[in-house]
């Protein structure tokens, strides 16, 4: 099954790392990405630019509302994602636990729908 892992982080925490700490975390992350690719688990991984570079788009009543910045003010922002394919949710959580950024933020692990459900967007169960 495929899972999208969303990496939330505090920009100020990462910017507060010393150059040596950042270099170490960066190398550790790139090494883990390589390991997951070699095992055939990783489908894609990307970092996102700062939420200050984001635009939020809503359409209500036929009118488009575009706001600069993130959707919500929060301490943590979506900093990147990685998509994996593993046999179970438990295995997806184990992969997320080893993601180096999990020590500095939060990894949300979500199963991917293979198709958009016909009966309702979010079926219970």
pLDDT tens digits, 93-111 = 999 999 999 999 999 999 9
In angstroms, the Cα distances linking 105 to 10, 23, 44, 72, 93 are 7, 17, 20, 17, 15
Q: Model-level pTM?
A: 0.87
Using CB atoms within 10 Å of the CB of residue 74, give its burial: 0 to 12 exposed, 13 to 18 middle, 19+ buried: exposed
Share of the chain above pLDDT 90, in %: 74
| Backbone phi and psi for residue 27, each to the nearest 5 degrees, phi listed first | -65, -45
Where do the structural domains in the chain lie, given as residue ranges? 2-111
- pLDDT higher at 124 or 1: 1
Third-level CATH fold of 2-111: Alpha-Beta Plaits (3.30.70)
What confidence score (pLDDT) does residue 72 get? 62
Q: What is the mean pLDDT of residues 72-82?
A: 83
Alpha helices in the chain (DSSP H): 11-15, 19-38, 89-98
User: How much is the mean pLDDT over the chain?
Assistant: 92
Asked if pLDDT for residue 74 goes beyond 90, the answer is no
Rg (the chain; Cα; Å): 17
Work out the number of other CB atoms within 10 angstroms of the CB of residue 116: 6
> Mind listing the pLDDT tens digit for each residue in 15-46?
999 999 999 999 999 999 999 999 999 999 99
Asked if pLDDT for residue 61 goes beyond 90, the answer is yes
How many C-alpha atoms does 109 have within 13 Å on its Cβ side? 18
What confidence score (pLDDT) does residue 73 get? 64
Tokens at 49, concatenated? 């630019």
Distance CA(17)–CA(27), nearest Å, equals 14
């Amino acid at each position: 099954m495929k899972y999208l892992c969303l990496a939330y982080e505090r920009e100020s925490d990462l910017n507060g790392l010393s150059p040596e700490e950042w270099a170490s975390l960066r190398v550790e992350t790139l090494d883990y990405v390589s390991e997951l690719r070699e095992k055939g688990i990783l489908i894609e991984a990307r970092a996102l630019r700062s939420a200050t570079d984001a635009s939020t788009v809503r359409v209500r009543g036929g009118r488009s509302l575009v706001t600069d910045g993130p959707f919500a003010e929060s301490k943590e922002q979506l900093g990147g994602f990685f998509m994996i394919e593993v046999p179970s949710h438990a295995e997806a959580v184990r992969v997320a636990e080893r993601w180096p950024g999990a020590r500095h933020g939060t990894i949300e692990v979500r199963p991917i729908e293979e198709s958009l459900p016909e009966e309702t967007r979010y079926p219970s169960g």
